[in-house]
Structures are given as C-alpha cells and as structure tokens.
Amino acid sequence: MASATSTVDKRSDSPIKSYLGLRGQPLVYAITFACCLGFLLFGYDNGVFSGLTTDPVFLAQLSNPNSTLLGFIVAVYELGCLLGALICACWAEHFMRKTVISAGGAILIVGTIIQTSSYGLGQMVIGRVVTGVGMGFITSAVPIWQAETTLAHSRGRMIAAQLTFLIVGIVISYWIDYGMSLKSSSVQWRFPIAVQIIFAFGLIAMCSVLPDSPRWLAAHGRSQEALELLCSLRNAPPSSPIVSSEFQDIQAAIALERDSTGSWKDVFSGGGIMGWQRTLIACTVQACQEFTGINMIVYYGPYIIQDSIGLGRTDSLLVSGGMQLFFLAMSFFPWILLDTIGRRKLFIFGGCGMGICMLVSAILIKLGGKNNGIGAIVMLYLFQGFFTVGWMSNMWCYPSEILPVRIRQRAGALSVVFQWLSTFLVVEITPPAISNIGWKTYIIFAALNFINVSIAWYWFPETARRTLESVDYLFAGSKSVREVVLKSLDRRENWRGVASPVGEPLGNEKKDDIVEVVLAA
C-alpha cells in the first residue's frame, strides 16, 4: 500500500492526501519519474548486450557462438517481452497498474540474477527470457499508469520525457560496457548486466509509495477512493470544477467502455467505426518502427561498426557510446515538436531521413577506406537523429490515439505483439545479414524506410491536437482509410472536436454526438 498522510484543504472539509509530502503537479511529476525509471530500464536492457556482442571473454563463456546463434541469444529476450505482454493483455486488468509494474521489476531482477551468474549458453538464454517477461510487464503498464494520472495538455510532453529516459538507459549501458571492457575477467560482462538490478529496485520502491490510477479504482467499483486520489493529483477538493469535471469524465468513459467493449471478434470487425482498419494501422505503425533498422543500431552498434567499418573493439565501443549521447541530445526535440508539427509529418520526415542515411551508409561501406568509414559513421549518427525526431515518441503516442474506445485495450495489446515479433525478427537476422551480405543489409533497411514513408503518407491520419472523440468522428463517417486521411488534413474539419491549447474536451453537445455514433456502431 502507498504511504500517505492526510491534510485538510482550507476551502473544504474534504481531506486531501499527500504522498511523500507531495500533492498536485509535484505528485504527477513523481509518478512521471517512476514511469521514466521503467523506460530507463527498457533502454538499458536493450543496450547492455550491444557491447557484449564483441566481448571475447563473454563470447568464450558461451562457447563462441556463430553469428546466427549470437543473434538468437540477443533476440530471445524479445520473445520473453512478447510473453509478458500477452500475459498482461489477458490478466493485468485485474491488478493495479503499479502492482503489475512492481511484479515486472521483480521478475526482471530474477532474470538478471540468472544472466549474471551464467556459465553456459542454456542458463543465459533462460535468463534472457525471464528478464524479457519482466520487461513485457513493465512496458505494458507504465504508459497506462502515466496516461491515467496526467492532465491531457501535458500528456505528450510526459511521454516524450519517458522516451528521453529510455535513451538515458541506452547511454548508461553503452558507457558501462566501454568502461568494463578494460577489465580482463568475466566481471567485464557480469557487472554491466547486474547494474540494472539497481534501477529495478528503484522502480519497485517508487511504486510502493506512490498512488495508483484513479481510473483503475473507479473501473473496479472503488469510486470513493478514486475521487480522493484525484483530489491529491489535482490538489483540489471534490467540489472544485477541475476535480468534479474530470471525475465525471472518468465515470462517463467507464460507462461507455462497459457498454461498448466487445470480444476479440470485435477487434477484427468494422462495427461502423472502422474497427479492424484502425487495429491494422496500430499494428502497422508498431511493425514499421522496427523495420526502420533502429534496433540494428541499438543492439549491435559496436558489432556493425567493427564488422562493417573495420574499427577495433575499443574504438567501436567509443564510437557507439558517442552515438547514444547524440541520440539523447536529439530526444529533447520531440518534447516541442510532437504536438506542434503533427504525427503524420514527423513520420514522413523521419522515414525519408533514415532511408537516405541507410542508402548513403551502404555506398560508403561498399567503397571502403578510412574516409568513407568516417562518413558511414556520420550517417549512422544522423540516422539515430532522424529516428528520434520522427518515430520514437511518435510511435508510442499513435496507437492509443488511433484506436476506438471499445477495443483499445485488446487492439493495443495486439499491436504490442507486432512490435515484439518485428523486433525479434530484426535482432535475429542482423548478425548473419552483416556477416553474409555486408553493405547490402543497409540497402534493405533503406528500402524499408522508403516503404514506411509511403505507408505513412497514404494510410496514417493526423491525430495531433485532436481529442479521442474527434478521431472517432473522423472514422465513423468515412468509407475508407484514405478518406479519413484526407479529412484529417482538412482544416475545415477542425471545428468538430479539436482540443483547446490546454487540452479541454469537447463541449457536451458534441460529446453526446460522438457517444451516440460509437454506441450505435
């Protein structure tokens, strides 16, 4: 149970609880920090094996696996994440958000201990799977906890902050790998793997003292607790306009979901609101993000720099560490651009930039030589910059915005499945691809990025600055996804349900119109 103390607001007799002495926006920031710790773990776990793929001591401990087996050892983690996400899709709703996150942290700690103590291939693979299950729990629940406690007008910025911490985790892992590479014993790979236990304990500790989601409480018949928690999050009594309005919206949304949410069958039917098309868009954007080639760089940065460009192991680790620092610097741009430029334009901009960088990298690696090698490294740096600005935060926002209320949980889980399957595929094939076809691997990812641009231009409606209700309205009256795309770009449509600069919802009469459309479907 969360540690809390009660005070009485001077404007009313209603008690307003404080958590760690925090109420209102500082309390929301504390929850955001806990969520950022979850994403930092996500980034660290993604990046820590990057430096180990060229570590001779680590590879010798695993009997010097070939490129195909090495790819499997790294990629099997994604299967664990997939399993964790599927478990959450089926049963996580029965438990509080922070309970699921804490369970994920505990499972991750067990998996990390198994990995750190490994003396053979089998134990390492088991440890990777268990760690992945824990991360599947964390990534399934953290975004929901954040979304259900944060005000609408700051939600995009909070998500961007979490993704910045994801990169912080990658940066930390890269530089720890580099520092420990100077050691000659197995501590050079055991210590980097073990470090993530510290972050996992920090996440569990934060979850134990912070409040859960008021929406989860209300949805499970604990309305009075939900109202009290909402008062703490907004630092206002129940009678205040901000609390009473938001609590009414929560209750209305719960009633709408209870009436409208269907079975898995509804995920694959239109239902008058283009349900299956929207599910397909959510799954597509998750898969497209992985096929940009970003995880080829994140998981195998030192490996591809050493194998494709010809640098030694120490220099490869140093260059990769610098690449992640550049990645981190670029991650602050989405804080501003995500809600001002729009989702669709950023998808197209990022895809074009990444495609060009991959194409130029292929040419330079094919030509060979020191100067061309330096040029290829510069292109990989720029690739990470284009990904960060165009796709990283964007991809985490878009599925929840595009999906209708009644199938959001199930379809969202299905889209995450596509993410982990696509990640597994990319991480599995990268080492043998680099070993067997070399520079042509970059040509493949260049082509995939240009395909992503075409898909985004033709098939991805604009959702920025629109309320979720207005997105439903766009789909409910349309015959095809392309029609929705064109409608979303028509400024004349903006009168019908665009959020105000402070994220205020639609007027009641427009909200009633949308509810009628969804219920009728």
Provide φ and ψ at 466, rounded to 5°: -105, 140
Q: CA-CA distance, 335 to 168, in Å (whole number)?
A: 15
Q: CA-CA distance, 9 to 15, in Å (whole number)?
A: 6
Count of CB atoms situated within 10 Å of the CB of 498: 14
Q: What pLDDT is recorded for position 55?
A: 79
This prediction has a pTM of 0.75
CB 404 within 8 A of CB 478: no
Q: CA-CA distance, 219 to 203, in Å (whole number)?
A: 25
Q: Cα dihedral sign for 97, 468, 32, 390? A: positive
Provide φ and ψ at 56, rounded to 5°: -65, -35
Q: Report helix, strand or coil for 184.
A: coil
For the chain, the structural domain boundaries read 21-215, 236-521
- Residue 344 sits at the vertex; the CA angle it makes with 338 and 348, to the nearest 5 degrees, is 105
Q: What pLDDT is recorded for position 152?
A: 64
* Superfamily classification of domain 236-521: MFS general substrate transporter like domains (1.20.1250.20)
Q: Report helix, strand or coil for 262.
A: coil
Q: CA-CA distance, 61 to 265, in Å (whole number)?
A: 48
> Do 236-521 and 21-215 have the same topology in CATH?
yes
Residue in 76, 52, 67, 37 with CA at minimum distance from that of residue 174: 52
Q: CA-CA distance, 302 to 288, in Å (whole number)?
A: 24
Q: Which CATH class is domain 21-215?
A: mainly alpha
Q: Report helix, strand or coil for 18.
A: strand
Q: What pLDDT is recorded for position 372?
A: 80
Scored b (16 or more CB within 10 A) or e, 292-313 reads bbbbbbbbbbbbbbbbbbebeb
Residue in 366, 395, 500 with CA at minimum distance from that of residue 456: 395
Q: What pLDDT is recorded for position 37?
A: 94
Q: What pLDDT is recorded for position 456?
A: 92
Using CA atoms, how far residue 459 sits from 69, 365, 438, in Å, is 37, 34, 33
Q: What pLDDT is recorded for position 48?
A: 85
Find residue 6's DSSP bridge partners: 17
One-letter-per-residue 3-state SS of 195-244: HHHHHHHHHHHHHHHCCCCHHHHHHCCCHHHHHHHHHHHHCCCCCCHHHH
Both structure tokens of 285: 């954007």
Residue in 182, 181, 97 with CA at minimum distance from that of residue 138: 97
Find residue 8's DSSP bridge partners: 15
Residue in 515, 509, 506, 508 with CA at minimum distance from that of residue 467: 506
Terminal-to-terminal C-alpha distance of the chain: 41
Using CA atoms, how far residue 253 sits from 211, 515, 516, 518, in Å, is 21, 10, 13, 12
Q: State the Rg of the chain over Cα.
A: 23
Find residue 18's DSSP bridge partners: 5
Q: Report helix, strand or coil for 498.
A: strand
pLDDT in tens, 52-95: 877 788 888 888 888 778 878 877 888 898 899 888 877 777 78
Amino acid at 327: F
Both structure tokens of 342: 């729009």
Both structure tokens of 443: 């040509």
Q: CA-CA distance, 138 to 150, in Å (whole number)?
A: 18
Q: What DSSP character marks residue 152?
A: G
Q: Please, where are the H alpha helices in 368-407? A: 370-387, 393-402
Residue in 178, 197, 23, 234 with CA at minimum distance from that of residue 109: 197
Q: What is the mean pLDDT of each run of 10 residues along the chain (521 residues)?
A: 44 69 90 93 83 81 82 83 84 83 96 93 93 90 81 73 86 84 84 94 95 84 89 89 82 59 61 78 88 78 67 72 79 81 89 93 82 82 89 78 69 78 80 81 92 93 71 76 84 43 40 42 38
Q: CA-CA distance, 188 to 170, in Å (whole number)?
A: 17
Q: CA-CA distance, 248 to 235, in Å (whole number)?
A: 17
Q: Which helix (H) or strand (E) holds 15?
A: strand 15-18
Q: What pLDDT is recorded for position 506?
A: 41
